[in-house]
Amino acid sequence: MRDLDLRRLRYFTVLAQTLHFGRAAELLHISQPGLSAEIRRLETQLGLALFTRTPRTALTHEGETLLAEAEAVLTGADRFASASAALASGQAGVVTIGSTAAVLEQGLLGAIARLAEDAPELRVIVEELSSAESSTALREGRIDLACGNAPADGTDVTATRLTAAPFALVVPAQATAALRPVSTATGSSPAPESLSDCADLPFSAFRRSASPRLHDTVRALCAEAGFTPTFTYRTRTWRSALDAVSAGLCVSLTPAPVARARAADDASVRVGRAVESDLRVESWISTRAGETSPLIERVGRAVADAFR
């Protein structure tokens, strides 16, 4: 098969979105017969029918399957064009950061915003990934910097700790049905004040597949308090973990800065007594070992300085 024409892939995706040759031709600024001919040429090249024409235009099963692939190819081509344009216009270049939602919320977005003001010649692309996904993407060269709750693993990377914060207990502001296991002899259900009050309560926590370190740290904190937690809400972000607390369904152990910020904006949650432990939630920035790009080093320093 000859190399695919990106122009024909774009014609295919626009027609797939409109399912109308006339409207698609208008959007693409070509004639309707011209669009029809190009789609026929693409189908001939592929050896597949992408559309049925009667009684109305519709994607075939093969067309539906290939649409997502075509969109991915065009997205990659657009990213390539954008990056090359930045370089050709004299901008310093592009840096891609993979980051967990927690690090984004705790200061990374602010650091990137300040970089945009101080160094408009830089273009920073952010991919929200788990710590494990960021570590893999960094080693494979798909991102330039990895920010997560753990350092990227391996001898081929170097890591710098950004922050280390204690955990705080976050509970619903009002007693709810989900908290009834904590009861007194008279049957009342006081809201829990400390972690030791939560032995029989449901917890929201990170799925271990999303963040082994955070998941295991919450388990360890509960073990220090003398019980094994019951995780009924498993999430990928602190925001969704605290949404379950806000709904009155559970309690959560959360980094203290995240807990205080949520309680300040959400009257349905409150921060309980401080968790006494040496265990901390950490934020790290990692890069490939021996990285010599001044641009990547510049962005890494700016992020580290912002967290200090």
Q: What is the pLDDT of residues 184-243, one digit of tens each?
A: 444 445 667 789 888 889 999 888 877 888 899 999 999 999 999 999 999 888 889 999
CATH 3.40.190.10 is the classification of domain 91-164+282-307: yes
What stretches of the chain show up as alpha helix (H) in DSSP? 6-18, 21-28, 32-46, 61-88, 101-103, 109-118, 131-139, 212-224, 238-246, 256-265, 294-307
pLDDT tens track for 85-122: 655 554 557 899 999 888 887 788 888 898 888 877 78
CATH class of 167-279: alpha beta
CATH architecture of 6-87: Orthogonal Bundle (1.10)
How much is the mean pLDDT over the chain? 86
Report the predicted TM-score, pTM, of the whole model to 2 decimal places.
0.58
Between CA 35 and CA 201 the distance in angstroms is 62
Asked, colleague to colleague, whether 6-87 and 91-164+282-307 share their fold, the answer is no
Contact 235, 241 (CB under 8 A): yes
Q: Is 230 helix (H, G, I), strand (E, B) or coil?
A: strand
